[in-house]
Amino acid sequence: AKECTVKCVAAGGKYVLYDAGTKTSYQLDDQSKPKDFAGQKVKVTGTLDSTTNTIHVQNIESA
């Protein structure tokens, strides 16, 4: 999953957080922090802007 994710981002895609439980994707405002966790299950700490469905990332760690 990591290789596929990295290739998609290199081709112009963006890192997002996908919640399989709600089938919701959240945009991440910081695109540098998720790089090390591409394709992994993670815990993202931050503030959600519900109008844009964007998380203002404070921290990312492995789940």
Percent of the chain with pLDDT over 90: 95
pLDDT digits (tens, 9 = 90+) for 47-59: 999 999 999 999 9
Side chain identity at 41, as an amino acid letter? K
Q: Can you list the positions of beta strands (E) in 4-53?
A: 16-19, 24-28, 42-49
Read off the pTM: 0.85
Residue 35 makes CB contacts below 8 A (sequence gap 6+) with 6, 9, 15
pLDDT of residue 1: 84
